[in-house]
Amino acid sequence: MDTLLHHLDRGDGRLAYTDQGSGPVVVLVPGMGDLRSTWRDLTDPLLTAGHRVVALDLRGHGDSDATFAAHGLVPTGQDVLALVEHLGEPAVIVGSSVGAGAAAWVADARPDLVAGLVLIAAHLQDHGAPGLLARLQVALLLRRPWGPAAWAWYYRSLNSGRHAPWLEKHSAALSASLRRPGYMEAFGSLARHLLSDRVEVPATDIAAPTLVLYGEHDPEFTDPAAELDWLVTHLPHATGSLVPDSGHYPQGQRPDVVVPAVLDHLATLPRSADAWTAAGARA
């Protein structure tokens, strides 16, 4: 049994998270269809640098329950906010894909609880509603009995460029996780809501200092460089870069680039003793 594993009751289900170390809190939020172990290459360096590291499984993913009624960006953001509130102090939130969108949502909703952000492969620019073909492809991809294997295959395809040495093991774990009762259905619900819900996170209102990272070959975006430029331009306090030889998951594909970038960003953030000073509390 993982003694670091905890659960947060959210009424219609429990969120699973690990909690390690001490110091200023860093919350790690994975993307859709992923597991908290996506952050394995970042966790130890954060602990070594003196941070308390909390890694979350999204609702309907990993060790979290698949009993939740609602899915989408806002419910995901509400879960992250509930976790930060439960931890009892401001946090830096590091998010990947929808996890990055959720992190930005929290920073906008509760700037008093967010000291900084790291947004990796964030979908924050509105490109309009997806077409019927895209929605049909998602509906077909995420059906039983082939859904878990199909997602594992698609997940691997998003790793354009260099592959993490643990990618095959990780994608197999994703497939196994989705084969459990209720988990494929929860994942499909999240995917459909992310395609259909029109949720705008006002980037220009976010006060938290932000590091923005995109894989230079990320197949999720027509032009990753344009996404980076748009987000850095619209966030008031942002810097960013393209991560070379990587796709949608640069945290695993190029930890040699991502880890020092994240640690350097965290080193610039104001703190008092062993806690961050939240962006909303600064003069």
For 134-178, how does the pLDDT look when each residue is reduced to its tens digit (9 = 90+)? 554 565 566 667 789 989 999 999 999 999 999 999 999 999 999
Three-state secondary structure call for residue 23: coil
The answer to which of 30-44, 73-87, 148-162 has the lowest mean pLDDT is: 148-162
Contact 277, 271 (CB under 8 A): yes
Question: What range does the domain containing 39 cover?
Answer: 5-281
The answer to which of 2-11, 66-75, 85-94, 171-180 has the lowest mean pLDDT is: 2-11
pLDDT score of 128 more than 70: no
pLDDT category of residue 272 using cuts at 50, 70 and 90: confident
Structure tokens at 79: 């879960």
The answer to which of 22-31, 64-73, 166-175, 198-207 has the lowest mean pLDDT is: 198-207
| Domain CATH for 178 | 3.40.50.1820
Mean pLDDT of 23-34: 97
Paired residues of 16 in beta bridges: 7
Backbone φ and ψ of 96, nearest 5°: -115, 130
pLDDT tens sequence across 243-262: 999 999 999 999 999 999 99
What's the Cα-to-Cα distance from 39 to each of 4, 158, 194, 203, 210, rounded to whole Å? 15, 16, 22, 25, 18
Strands 5-9, 25-29: pairing kind: unpaired
SS3 content of the chain, % helix, strand, coil (to 5): 45, 20, 40
Mean pLDDT computed over every residue of the chain: 92
| Number of domains forming the structure of the chain | 1
Structure tokens at 237: 């306090």
Structure tokens at 27: 């919350």
